[in-house]
């Protein structure tokens, strides 16, 4: 059984701000899907940028107070969380402020990109300001419409927010631990482009594509994307800017084979910790403000929502496999005789 | 480039210059006739490039005709396959084209099903016992062939004929021996297909199961999961490696230096005691392991090593160099075994609890039947068929001695039943007594000359991969597995028909993994292999498995034809070379000297850089040879 749904050790009242490693699936209403995903990654021992989660309890206090000024108790809790992040790096670091709504990243639907993300906030005042803006984006009418269509739960989203060390990504993208369309479980599919992952997630660029066979670890398919631009941290580290990618750089692969292999390894580790069928976001870079070499980070993990298996019911069922599935107890001889008795599926 | 819906009309194929009258070399049932025009021009006819890349010599037609009989009889009369009828054959400009027939009437299928299931089940459930018997039958058939000898008719009947009161004479015995030779060939053809259809059926079921579960799995990976590790098909090459090692151990490796002929090498070896020991070792293993041909085994021109020692000696010489560089030439059996298990276990681990036992059952049966698929190739195509052609050549020498032919190879320009006429004519001449002039001494030679000119004209023609109209889906199991023709192949061919060579990518089947970049060397026959330079990529109509001298030197292989289970693909994997097969038109669209990249994982061949401007006439020009 998938370990995506493993229960938390014990349930308790959710505080205004919570360590992300303690965010468990059954708290999804309070901490949101993104925090749940990061919690999974952290507990699976993956390299994840440090973060804390501002829970829906904080959002409710904000709304109860008229959705204008952020209550002092909430500011205090946020300041504490931010101070811890800065303490680890011994600097006033820029962070990414990402919404983690209860309906986002659920197993049924991925609302990825429907809520706003704010990159590059630095200092308590900016961080609180961005969190406030994130909450307000929940009132954005087109998010409501999307939510209504998916779940009928319009208007009552509980917006939690993840505040995360910003990775100065020189390349980033998404990774599926099985083919998102065919459902082929022997493939890892990686999409990669230059800069922060927003250009890929937002569909602004055509990323480079790599398909890796999990068993042989060979790259079985690669196609060059059209990486027209990228989002990078401004040299000050507190602003994100859009840069054009020149033709020579655009015609090179966004990541080298070593990183492709390392990502495939990450996919294998994630599947063994969390079960099959994962959709992840990743970045290659260093944490802003640190002097570390660029390395790989996992930024998000959730079940693949376009998996044909999900539509078909029982796990491990692709459309083609379901059609070709023989009776459970059939022997190989019966299968072969059956196959040769009818026209069968022509190859391929 | 716009993909087309159908191929050229088989009734409108132009005869190449100088080949008018080519039809007279073949029996009428092999030629497209007006009686069946309405039907035949609406069917798919694909070029059997895998087995007959060259125009078929009239005598060599015994191979396709005998497999048509045996393969189809197993399909239609023995197993009663519910979905398939026999595969038809036609000759177009000398080249062999095939067309599958299917049963699509549900009632007929229903009638056949229980009959088929009872019969095929018996074979699957008794496989090991039946396979053991098969080896006995095949070996016995080969043994009887080996005992057949054809000698020129004597000046006078031996005294023994009188003393034993035999009653019949040498010429009568020659004709009966010839009948036995043909019967022996037809008998082996039955054994060829006795188990093959069922074995491929097992493999097909396994392949389809894997593709349904893992749409991206390549045929190559499925083949690697079921392929036998220690099968006798690899034994001839293993013997060459061993002989190379032995030459180094005995200190006689120097005898193989330079470009000496095998005879010269043997002569210098026989000068020393150690060299004699090596020769003795060679003699021990030559029979049967040197009954190994430089081709698919369906053409008399593919001489076995035992008749032409150049290929094995060149390979030994290459292996010696590798031994001297400190390489271990033994095949890493344990490593191959572990790799096979690793791949199978890797895929199995991804299956649901429900599907994993099905996978186990299929892989176990596939592995049980697969050694036959690999080994039959040695028994049938190599050992038996090359020996058979050797016997026919002996018979040719008998006709040369009788004054009817000029050279022993001329016999291959005659259909086997024409040879019977010729032998009867020889008997007539011999009966007349010495010195009586006969017509046959000029008529047959004139006919052979005419056919030789026709054949050369046909050999210059490039046969299209298919003719006629493809069905909506190619489903006939033998066409799919044995000939490697499926929907994708047909689509690729249709696309290639519309191509003008301006594309810089060819698509084929990924036959052996890896990526290689190098200069293309277009090779259409064994003779052209000499021009090959180390590190080039072999581009050929068909990758013949036993061009072993070449496999040690090339960086990769591309072939027009061939399926994933063709001998070619199997051996490319064995040699660890990236290979793409079934490109349809690689030898047409690529030119020697082009810089190309072969991707044996993706099944693509990219032209990185053309060797030179394309000639205006459209005829490929050899560059940098």
Is residue B61 one of the residues assigned to a domain?
no
pLDDT tens sequence across B210-259: 999 999 898 888 988 988 777 888 889 899 999 999 999 999 999 997 77
So what's the pLDDT on residue B22? 97
Is the CB of residue B153 less than 8 Å from the CB of residue B170?
Answer: yes
Dihedral of the alpha carbons of B476, B481, B484, B485, in degrees to the nearest 10: 10
> Is B301 an 8 Å CB contact of chain A?
no
Return d(Cα B535, Cα A283) in angstroms, integer. Answer: 40
Listed residue (B31, B574, B125, B561) closest to B333, CA to CA: B574
Is A2 a residue whose pLDDT tops 50?
Answer: no
CB of A318 within 8 Å of any CB in chain B?
A: yes
Q: In this predicted model, what pLDDT tens digit does every residue of B88-98 receive, in sequence order?
A: 999 999 999 99
Residue B83 has pLDDT above 50, yes or no: yes
Query: Would an 8 Å CB–CB cutoff place A313 in contact with chain B?
Result: no
B605 and B508 within one domain: yes
Q: Which of A27-41, A68-82, B29-43, B154-168 has the lowest mean pLDDT?
A: A27-41
Print the domain residue range for B517.
503-609
What is the reported pTM?
0.77
Closest residue by Cα to residue A39 from A331, A257, A274? A274
> Does residue B369 sit in the same domain as residue B384?
no
Q: Does A344 touch chain B (CB under 8 A)?
A: yes
Question: Do B315 and B338 share a structural domain?
Answer: no
CA distance B178 to B170: 12
Arithmetic mean of pLDDT, A239-259:
91
Tell me the per-residue pLDDT of B138-164, one tens digit each, with 9 for 90 and over.
999 999 999 999 999 999 999 999 999
Q: What is the 3-state secondary structure (H, E, C) of B541-566?
A: CCCCCCCHHHHCCCCEEEECCCCCCC
Whether B109 is covered by a domain: the verdict is no
Looking at the structure, tell me whether residues B222 and B250 fall in a common domain. no
Q: Report the pLDDT value the prediction gives residue A321, as an integer from 0 to 100.
A: 52
pLDDT band with cut points at 50, 70 and 90 for residue B454: very high
> What distance, in Å, lies between the first and last C-alpha atoms of chain A?
32
Phi-psi sector, B422: left (phi>0), alpha (psi -120 to 50), beta: alpha
Chain A residues touching residue B102 (CB < 8 angstroms): 343
pLDDT at B345: 95
Mean confidence (pLDDT) of chain B: 88
Q: How many CA atoms lie within 13 A of B494 on its CB side?
A: 19
- Are B192 and B203 within one domain? no
In a domain, residue B461? The reply is: no
Residue A12, min C-alpha distance to chain B (Å): 36
Query: Would the pLDDT of B77 be above 70?
Result: yes
Residue B83 lies in a domain: no
Please list every residue in chain A whose beta carbon sits closer than 8 Å to the beta carbon of residue B508: none
In a domain, B212, yes or no: yes
What pLDDT, in 10s, does the model give residues B37-58?
Answer: 999 999 999 999 878 888 999 9
Q: Are B319 and B255 in a shared domain?
A: yes
B97 is a domain residue: no
Domain check: are B218 and B357 in the same one? yes
Q: Output B129 or A159, whichever has higher pLDDT.
A: B129
> B383 and B300 share a domain?
no
Q: Chain A 206-225, CB below 8 Å of chain B: which residues?
A: 211, 213-216, 218-221
In the predicted structure, residue A238 carries a pLDDT above the cut 80: no
In a domain, B512, yes or no: yes
Number of domains composing chain B: 4
| B132 CB-contact burial (10 Å; exposed 0-12 / middle 13-18 / buried 19+) | exposed
Sheet holding B88-92, edge to edge: B88-92, B95-99, B44-47, B466-468
Q: Which domains does chain A have, with CATH numbers?
A: 15-165 (3.30.1490.20), 168-311 (3.30.470.20)
SS3 A247: helix
Same domain? For B309 and B338 the reply is no
- Residue B591: burial class (beta carbons within 10 Å; 0-12, 13-18, 19+): buried
State how far the Cα of A288 lies from the Cα of A50, in Å rounded to an integer. 12
- Give the pLDDT mean for B285-290: 94
* Strand order from edge to edge, sheet including A295-303: A219-223, A208-213, A187-194, A167-176, A278-287, A295-303
Q: CATH number of the domain at B591, please.
A: 3.50.30.10
Instruction: List, as one string, the DSSP characters of B182-251.
Output: HHHHHHHHHHHHHTHHHHHHHHHHHHHHHHHH-TT--HHHHHHHH--SS-GGGHHHHHHHHHHHHHHHTT
* Chain segment A257-296, per-residue pLDDT in tens: 999 999 999 999 999 888 889 999 999 998 766 667 789 9
Q: What is the mean pLDDT of residues A189-195?
A: 95
Partner B contacted by A177 (CB < 8 A): no
Chain A residues with CB under 8 Å of B342 CB are: 215
Identify which of A266, A302, A305 has the alpha carbon closest to the alpha carbon of residue A284. Answer: A266
What is the per-residue pLDDT for B45?
A: 96
Can you say whether residue B132 is alpha, beta or left, with left for phi > 0 and alpha for psi between -120 and 50 degrees? alpha
Answer yes or no: do B121 and A186 touch at CB < 8 A.
no
| pLDDT at residue B85 greater than cutoff 70 | yes
Residue B166, classified by CB atoms within 10 Å of its CB into exposed (0-12), middle (13-18) or buried (19+), is middle
Percent of chain B with pLDDT over 70: 92
Both B310 and B351 in one domain: the answer is: no
Same domain? For B284 and B219 the reply is no
* B623 inside domain: no
Position B169 scores a pLDDT of 97
Tell me, what's the ipTM? 0.76
Nearest to B507 by CA among B479, B484, B488, B487: B488
Chain B residues with beta carbon closer than 8 angstroms to that of A348: 211, 486-488
Among the ranges A99-108, A226-235, A266-275, which has the highest mean pLDDT value?
Answer: A266-275
Q: What is the C-alpha separation between B46 and A7, in angstroms, rounded?
A: 61
Q: Which tens digits make up the pLDDT trace of B460-511?
A: 888 898 999 998 888 777 787 777 788 888 888 887 776 655 568 888 877 7
B183 with B268, same domain: the answer is: no
Cα–Cα dist B118/A340, whole Å: 13
């Amino acid at each position: 059984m998938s370990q995506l749904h493993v229960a938390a050790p014990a349930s308790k009242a959710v505080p205004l701000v919570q360590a992300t490693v303690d965010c468990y699936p059954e708290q999804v209403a309070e901490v949101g899907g993104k925090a749940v995903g990061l919690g999974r990654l952290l507990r699976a021992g993956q390299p994840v940028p440090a973060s804390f989660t501002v829970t829906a309890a904080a959002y409710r206090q904000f709304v109860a107070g008229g959705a204008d000024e952020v209550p002092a108790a909430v500011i205090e809790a946020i300041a504490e969380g931010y101070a811890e992040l800065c303490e680890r790096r011994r600097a006033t670091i820029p962070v990414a402020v990402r919404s983690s709504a209860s309906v986002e990243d659920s197993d049924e639907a991925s609302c990825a990109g429907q809520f706003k993300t704010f990159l590059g906030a630095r200092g308590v005042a900016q961080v609180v300001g961005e969190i406030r803006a994130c909450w307000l984006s929940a009132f954005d009418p087109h998010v409501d419409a999307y939510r209504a269509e998916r779940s009928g739960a319009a208007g009552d989203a509980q917006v939690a927010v993840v505040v995360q060390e910003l990775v100065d990504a020189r390349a980033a993208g998404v990774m599926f631990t099985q083919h998102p369309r065919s459902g082929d479980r022997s493939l890892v599919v990686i999409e990669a482009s230059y800069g922060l992952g927003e250009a890929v997630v937002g569909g602004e660029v055509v990323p480079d594509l790599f398909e890796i066979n999990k068993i042989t670890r060979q790259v079985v398919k690669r196609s060059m994307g059209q990486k027209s631009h990228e989002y990078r941290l401004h040299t000050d580290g507190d602003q994100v800017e859009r840069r054009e990618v020149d033709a020579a750089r655009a015609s090179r692969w966004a990541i080298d084979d070593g990183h492709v292999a390392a990502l495939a390894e990450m996919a294998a580790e994630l599947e063994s910790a969390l079960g099959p069928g994962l959709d992840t976001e990743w970045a290659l870079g260093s944490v802003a403000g640190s002097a570390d070499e660029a390395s790989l980070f996992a930024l998000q993990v959730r079940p693949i929502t376009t998996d044909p298996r999900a539509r078909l019911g029982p796990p491990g069922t692709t459309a083609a496999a379901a059609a070709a599935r023989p009776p459970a107890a059939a022997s190989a001889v019966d299968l072969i005789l059956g196959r040769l008795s009818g026209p069968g599926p022509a190859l391929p | 480039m716009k993909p087309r819906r159908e191929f050229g009309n088989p009734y409108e194929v132009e005869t190449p210059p100088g080949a008018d009258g080519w039809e007279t070399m073949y029996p009428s049932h092999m030629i497209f006739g007006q009686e069946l025009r309405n039907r035949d021009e609406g069917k798919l006819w694909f070029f059997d490039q895998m087995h007959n890349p060259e125009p078929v010599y009239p005598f060599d037609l015994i191979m396709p005709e005998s497999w048509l009989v045996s393969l189809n009889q197993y399909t239609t009369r023995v197993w009663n396959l519910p979905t398939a009828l026999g595969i038809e054959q036609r000759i177009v400009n000398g080249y062999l084209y095939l067309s599958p027939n299917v049963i699509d009437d549900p009632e007929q299928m229903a009638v056949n099903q229980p009959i088929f299931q009872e019969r095929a089940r018996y074979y699957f459930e008794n496989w090991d016992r039946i396979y053991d018997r098969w080896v006995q039958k095949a070996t016995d058939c080969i043994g009887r062939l080996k005992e057949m000898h054809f000698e020129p008719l004597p000046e006078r009947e031996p005294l023994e004929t009188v003393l034993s009161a035999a009653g019949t004479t040498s010429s009568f015995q020659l004709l009966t021996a010839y009948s036995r030779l043909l019967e022996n060939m037809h008998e082996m053809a039955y054994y060829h297909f006795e188990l093959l259809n069922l074995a491929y059926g097992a493999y097909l079921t396994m392949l389809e199961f894997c593709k349904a579960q893992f749409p991206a799995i390549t045929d190559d990976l499925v083949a690697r999961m079921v392929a036998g590790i220690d099968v006798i098909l690899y034994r001839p090459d293993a013997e060459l490696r061993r002989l190379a090692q032995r030459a180094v151990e005995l200190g006689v490796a120097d005898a193989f230096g330079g470009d000496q002929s095998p005879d010269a090498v043997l002569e210098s070896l026989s000068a020393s005691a150690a060299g004699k020991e090596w020769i003795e070792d060679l003699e021990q293993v030559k029979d049967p392991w040197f009954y190994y041909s430089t081709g698919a085994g369906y053409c008399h021109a593919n001489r076995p090593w035992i008749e032409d020692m150049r290929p094995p000696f060149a390979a030994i010489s290459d292996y010696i160099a590798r031994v001297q560089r400190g390489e271990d030439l033994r095949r890493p059996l344990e490593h191959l075994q572990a790799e096979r298990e690793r791949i199978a276990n890797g895929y199995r681990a991804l299956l649901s609890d429900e599907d994993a036992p099905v996978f186990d059952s299929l892989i176990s049966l596939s592995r049980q039947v697969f050694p036959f698929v690999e080994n039959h190739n040695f028994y049938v195509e190599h050992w038996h068929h090359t020996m058979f052609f050797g016997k026919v050549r002996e018979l040719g020498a008998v006709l040369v001695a009788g004054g009817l032919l000029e050279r022993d190879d001329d016999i291959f320009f005659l259909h086997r039943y024409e040879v019977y006429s010729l032998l009867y004519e020889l008997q007539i001449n011999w009966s007349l007594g010495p010195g009586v002039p006969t017509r046959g001494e000029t008529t047959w030679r004139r006919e052979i000359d005419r056919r030789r000119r026709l054949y050369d004209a046909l050999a210059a023609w490039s046969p299209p991969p298919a003719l006629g109209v493809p069905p909506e889906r190619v489903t006939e199991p033998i066409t799919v597995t044995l000939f490697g023709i499926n929907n994708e192949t047909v689509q690729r061919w249709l696309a290639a028909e519309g191509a003008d060579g301006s594309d810089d990518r060819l698509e084929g089947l990924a036959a052996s993994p890896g990526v290689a970049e190098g200069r293309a060397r277009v090779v259409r026959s064994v003779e052209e292999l000499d021009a090959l330079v180390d590190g080039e990529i072999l581009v050929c109509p068909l990758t013949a498995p036993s061009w072993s001298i070449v496999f040690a030197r090339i960086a990769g292989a591309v072939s027009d034809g061939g399926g994933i289970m063709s001998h070619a693909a199997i051996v490319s994997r064995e040699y660890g070379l990236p290979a793409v097969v079934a490109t349809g038109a690689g030898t047409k669209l690529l030119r020697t000297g082009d810089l190309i990249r072969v991707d044996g994982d993706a099944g693509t061949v990219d032209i990185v850089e053309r060797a030179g401007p394309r000639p205006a006439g459209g005829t490929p020009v050899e560059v940098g040879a």
